[in-house]
Amino acid sequence: MERRTLTDGAVVLSPPESADVDAITDACRDPLIARWTTVPSPYARTDALYFVQDVVPAKWESGCPDWAVRTSEDGVLCGMVGFVPREGSDPEIGYWIAPTTRRHGLATAAVRLACDFAFAPDGMNVRRVAWRAFVGNRASAAVARRVGFRYEGIVRNGLLQRGVPRDVWVAGLSADDPHGPTDDWPL
């Protein structure tokens, strides 16, 4: 897949580059990102280098892009959004926002833009995007709900976090679902 930059005027999604390594390192050392994601903890600069130099290019090549979230084309990295391939199932969206830029709607705008790309015939051309979050991650659930994901339940021991099985909330967004906030979440 050819690397692309996306924008909706509120956010810019661009593939992360070497200049983003320090911002990724700083953000991934945040206790909330460590708590709610599967990034290595403690997080080292070498983890960010590996992510930018090896993981991101491989994911783009396999058709599951990752983007840096920015507020302008030449802006500093505010977070990440991207897709995780799941064998035999729909791609799963994942995202985090750096502590200094939370609560400004960046995650919602980035997830909406990434999902639009996933459904586009000239994007990933998928029919459905999956979402999972560790039970208790209400901030991630709020973003998914605002974008239009439909809550589907809890999967016990549904995801490993640094070798420990944890329960996860699951939801999905289909290409033909109405986009926008949903009320079907029990959270």
Half-sphere CA count of 110, side-chain side, radius 13 A: 34
pLDDT at res. 183 = 86
| 23 close to 17: Cβ distance less than 8 angstroms | no
125 alpha-carbon distance from chain centroid: 18
Burial of 136 (0-12, 13-18, 19+ CB in 10 A): middle
The two beta strands, 12-14 and 66-70, are antiparallel
pLDDT at res. 54 = 97
**Which tens digits make up the pLDDT trace of 106-117?**
999 999 999 999
**Which tens digits make up the pLDDT trace of 117-127?**
999 999 999 99
CA 73, CA 130: separation in Å to the nearest integer? 28
Compute the mean pLDDT over every residue in the chain, rounded to the nearest whole number: 95
Q: What are phi and psi of 58, to 5 degrees?
A: -65, -40
Rg of the chain in Å (alpha carbons) = 15
Query: Whole-prediction pTM value?
Result: 0.95
**Which tens digits make up the pLDDT trace of 19-44?**
999 999 999 999 999 999 999 999 99
**Which tens digits make up the pLDDT trace of 42-94?**
999 999 999 999 999 999 999 999 999 999 999 999 999 999 987 777 999 99
What number does CATH give the domain 6-174? 3.40.630.30
Q: pLDDT over 90 for what percent of the chain?
A: 91
What residue type is 182 in one-letter code? T
Torsion region of 105: left, alpha or beta (phi above 0 gives left; psi -120 to 50 gives alpha): left
pLDDT at res. 186 = 86
pLDDT at res. 64 = 94
pLDDT at res. 53 = 97
Q: pLDDT over 70 for what percent of the chain?
A: 100
Residue 184's pLDDT band (cuts 50, 70, 90): confident
